[in-house]
Chain A
Amino acid sequence: MIDSSNNSGNEDDDKCVPRAAVYKMIKDCTQHIRVSGEAKEFFVQCCNEFIHTLALQANTVCEQQTKRLVHPDHIVTALNNMGFGSYKTKCLNAMETAQEEIAQKRRKLHGKPTSIYTDDELRQKQELLFQQAREEAQQLEDDDWARTQELSKEALRKKLEATRTDDDNYDD
């Protein structure tokens, strides 16, 4: 929240609400009505002006309450002062809804890790994985045992060969 306001003059265009967003809102209200380009531009300018004025008013309210941080209540008071008190309900309701959603998400995040499976399903899957691991370990053991057997047989065979060679070779 450090103030990093840019004083460069030709950045004014950047410090403007996005035109597309404004056009969309106007379109939602007017639907089949054609709106001139100049009118659209003018809406954007009014929008900027509103933000400036409301922010300034809220700032004043904040100062008067000797607070250092502008709070939503200051915005609401400023709206009242400007005559836009009717916005209060809608704004506050929307903010409450958003805050509730955020709280819900936070609860989910800090709670159990989310999963598309139920606890039982997860347990079953785990058991299946354990079973697979057991089978694989058994298989490895069996393979190992078989190889050891092979090697022993081979060793025995060679030994027999060695003893036979001395006696039998002269027959061929």
Chain B
Amino acid sequence: MTSSNDQIKSTSIRSYQLPLTKVKSIIKLDNNTRMISQDSVYVLTLATEEFIRMLTRDAHNSMKQCASKRLDRLHIFSSINTNPLYEFLDGSFD
């Protein structure tokens, strides 16, 4: 069976930065998850990267609002509490 994972990895347009195998093993941690296609792992990885960029931008904005010189955890917290999109992150951390 061809490894489509290897094929995706070898595409010259390196359009993703998170390793697919790592993302897949994180997905597999949940015992309830059923089998997932490689294409799905790829799309999920891309979505995660987009999420990081989005959260970084929001945290950055928070930082600018506080006129801070350094991006801190607080700024990320602030974004999480402000934007309803990040609600799923609530309560996941101390």
Contacts and interface: CB of A to CB of B under 8 A. Distances in A.
A29 B13 CA distance: 19
Contact of A49 (B28, B43, B92): B92
B39 A51 contact: no
Contact of B70 (A34, A72, A105): A34
Interface in A42-90: 42-43, 45-56, 58-59, 62-63, 68-72, 74-76, 79, 82-84, 87, 90
Nearest to B6: A102
A39 B72 contact: yes
A38 interface: yes
B60 A98 contact: no
Contacts of B26: 15-17, 48, 51-52, 55
B87 to A, nearest CB: 9
Contacts of A29: 53, 56-57, 60
A79 B29 CA distance: 20
Interface in A21-35: 21-22, 24-26, 28-30, 33-35
B40 A74 contact: yes
Contacts of A49: 88-89, 92
A30 B36 contact: no
Contacts, number: 197
Interface residues of B, number: 60
Given A51-B44, A95-B43, A98-B8, 15 more contacts: A1-B35, A1-B36, A18-B18, A30-B60, A30-B71, A43-B55, A46-B51, A49-B88, A55-B27, A59-B32, A72-B40, A84-B47, A84-B85, A87-B47, A91-B43
Interface of B: 4, 7-8, 10-13, 15-19, 22-23, 25-37, 39-40, 42-44, 46-53, 55-57, 59-60, 63, 69-73, 75-76, 80, 84-85, 88-89, 92-93
30 contacts: A5-B29, A14-B25, A16-B26, A17-B48, A29-B56, A30-B60, A30-B71, A36-B71, A39-B71, A42-B93, A45-B93, A46-B76, A46-B89, A51-B23, A51-B44, A52-B27, A54-B44, A55-B27, A55-B36, A58-B36, A58-B44, A68-B34, A69-B36, A70-B33, A70-B40, A71-B39, A84-B47, A84-B85, A87-B46, A98-B8
